[in-house]
Amino acid sequence: MNEILIIARKELLSVVRERRVLFNTLVLPILIMPLLMFGPILLFGNAARQTQESVQKVGVVGVPAAVLEELRKARLEPVQIADPQTAVQNREVQAALVFENGRYTLYGRLSRGTASQSALVVGKVQAALRAYKDRVVAEQLRARGIGPDILEPFSIETKDASSAQEQAAGVFAFLIPFFLVMFIQSGGMPVALDATAGEKEKGTLEALLAAPVPLSQILLGKGLAVFVMSMLSTIASLVGLLLSGGVVRNFLAGRLQTLQSIQGGGGEVQLGGGLALDPLGYLSILLTAVLFALLIIAVLISLGLYARTFKEAQSYTGLLSLFTIIPILFLQFSDFLKLQDWFFALPIVNVVLAMDVIVRGAATATQLLTTWAATLAYAGLAVYLAYRSFQREDVVFRN
């Protein structure tokens, strides 16, 4: 046991001397989690507010005077153009409105969804057209002696039935598991690569293997060092999420409420993201993170030991990072699928799914136990493969 601690201490000291590693592991997750949860919302929300308050040019063709006046009320400047589609494509105007044969056609650059000024201007034009249509309908009804209330025979109220945890997670809930997985991997990566491919390049791995220490203890010592850094990064990211859900959200409460009204959230959509779990939920996330860290540690050590150089090892870990993104793509459509219990037995996918259901407060005992058992089995297999790699000279001395 003493030899394991000595090796772990050596690996940690060789890495923590780099201030950038400490910053990336301990400080960056705390800073970046609130930024990632609220930064895009605040940035886009501020752009949306400025678009609502400022005046934009809108190309018009054959539009009646009454509609032109409605556009001006919506802080839009109608501009007569010849070719609406070309004018929008060339950014001469943000949107264009054409009236022909009793039909309005609206042009805009919409390929980027709502995250563009053109799409926001299109929304302003649509709102102006709806206001004009409602006024015309109301006038025609009154001309026939019918009140406009007939158009709304009943009211509709929408309430969010999500759990308190899911509401606290906000619109970026699906990103929380991704960032946790990412920081588990990135936290231990510098130590794992330096302890394997790095020592190959420095020529110190041969001396370590020649020492009177069993290979299993060398592997456990290096793995312990990687585990410590991975857990520190994970804890730092959890602290960042707690800050997002508490301090940052309260600090930005006024700004978020304003943005919700601009985006039509009605005060019920939680912008940003954070964690609001009970102690058992936090313990479940921590246990899931620990088991996933064991799996990733063994994979990183195996890849680093197999690589000839430090740069080659970095290329392998880059592919591993891409592989962990795939479950996030699956997670975005998970609400359209019926989650099966066997999903939680798939490697890496199960960890992302488990963290997602924990964050949303929807985890079942079967799902969690399946995830933990499967991840522990995969981690055990990965540790065995890493140990076998240490035993093979064609792998250790592959340089």
| DSSP secondary structure letters along 169-220 | H-TTTTHHHHHHHHHHHHHHHHHHHIIIIIHHHHT-HHHHHHSSS-HHHHHH
The pLDDT of residue 273:
55
Judge whether residue 227 has pLDDT over 70: yes
> In the structure, what pLDDT confidence band is assigned to residue 373 with cuts at 50, 70 and 90?
very high
Judge whether residue 170 has pLDDT over 80: no
Span 291-312, mean pLDDT?
Answer: 86
Distance between CA 123 and CA 86 in Å, rounded? 20
Query: pLDDT tens across 259-289, in order?
Result: 555 455 444 445 555 566 778 888 998 899 8
Distance between CA 46 and CA 65 in Å, rounded? 32
Judge whether residue 76 has pLDDT over 80: yes
Distance between CA 91 and CA 318 in Å, rounded? 38
The pLDDT of residue 217:
85
Give the whole-number percent of the chain exceeding pLDDT 70: 78
Could you tell me how many helices (H) and strands (E) the chain has, helices first?
Answer: 18, 4
User: Phi first, then psi: what are they for 160, rounded to 5°?
Assistant: -80, 115
How much is the mean pLDDT over the chain? 79
Nearest one of 62, 66, 64 to 81, comparing CA atoms: 62
The pLDDT of residue 160:
64
Span 126-132, mean pLDDT?
Answer: 90
Domains of the chain, earliest start first: 2-40+172-396 (no CATH), 52-148 (3.40.190)
Contact 59, 90 (CB under 8 A): no
User: Which helix or strand (DSSP H or E) is residue 59 part of?
Assistant: strand 56-61
Higher-confidence position of 332 and 218: 218
Query: pLDDT tens across 171-185, in order?
Result: 556 677 777 888 888
Give, in order, the Cα–Cα distances in Å from 70 to each of 84, 136, 229: 19, 12, 60
219: tokens are 């592997």
Judge whether residue 52 has pLDDT over 80: no
